[in-house]
Structure 1
Amino acid sequence: MPSPMPPLTPEALRDAVARIAPSRLPTLTQHLFEAATNAQQTQSLAPLRAFVHSWAVFVAIERHPARAERLRELERIVDAGEQDPTEAIAEIRAIRDAAEAEAGL
């Protein structure tokens, strides 16, 4: 049973990533720092919205270990370039769309 989807706030997403994918915490922290800096420089919330969107999708995918592993497998297929990636790309899109829907995005 996956853990519940956290609120879509930087702090709640950081806590969720710390639980389900702690190795990604430095990346999240760097992304949040850059988003906050860009938001301040541009006087726009768009960079912070992009941060929340990106990490909410990540958490929604990683909450389901089998789905997360399938996504990594599909990404390897696309990256390897040894076969037609059309089906893999379509499945990646479907996984990401489902994750967005779960996250309420």
Structure 2
Amino acid sequence: MSTVPDPNAELFPRPERTPQALRLALARIAPHRLAEMERQKDEAFALAAGHDSLTPIHQWLVIWAGEVEIERRPDLTWRRRNAEHACQTLDRDDPAWKVAVEELRAVVNEARQAADA
């Protein structure tokens, strides 16, 4: 039986929303995701240069600040893993699948809002 982690627990303090701070935080808690982060950062910078806009860089910071928030908070990690498992194992016609999709959205939204605070 799995138990819900303490919602107040954090693995370490929230990092600043800068590329370097987010990278260092991710290296501590989820180093297996660094290549994904770097690839997306490169894509964001290329889009920014190609469109003469900082919007892709801002979006990248929002996404990865949220991902770091999820990784540093066991409660959000637990909720995301359970929702992802349900999405992958349930039939799309099952009403529980839609609940799991909504839970995934809720986790991401909560993380992004917390990282923005």
Aligned length: 105
Percent of residue pairs identical = 35
Runs of 5+ consecutive residues of structure 1 not aligned to the other structure? none
Partner of 1:93: 105
Task: Tell me the TM-score normalized by structure 2.
Answer: 0.80
Structure 1 stretches of at least 4 aligned residues deviating more than 2 Å after TM superposition: 79-84
Distance 2:26 2:65 in 1: 10
Task: Tell me the TM-score normalized by structure 1.
Answer: 0.89
Q: For residue 43 of structure 1, report the CA deviation from its aligned partner.
A: 0.7
Residue-by-residue CA offset, 1:44-103 (whole Å, 9 max, x unaligned): 001101110110110111111242132022112113342321221222222122111210
Aligned pairs (5 A) from 1:48-59: 48-59=57-68
Partner of 2:74: 65
Aligned pairs (5 A) from 1:1-105: 1-2=9-10, 3-82=12-91, 83-84=94-95, 85-104=97-116
Cα RMSD after superposing both structures:
1.6
Query: Max radius of gyration: which structure?
Result: 2
Runs of 5+ consecutive residues of structure 2 not aligned to the other structure? 1-8
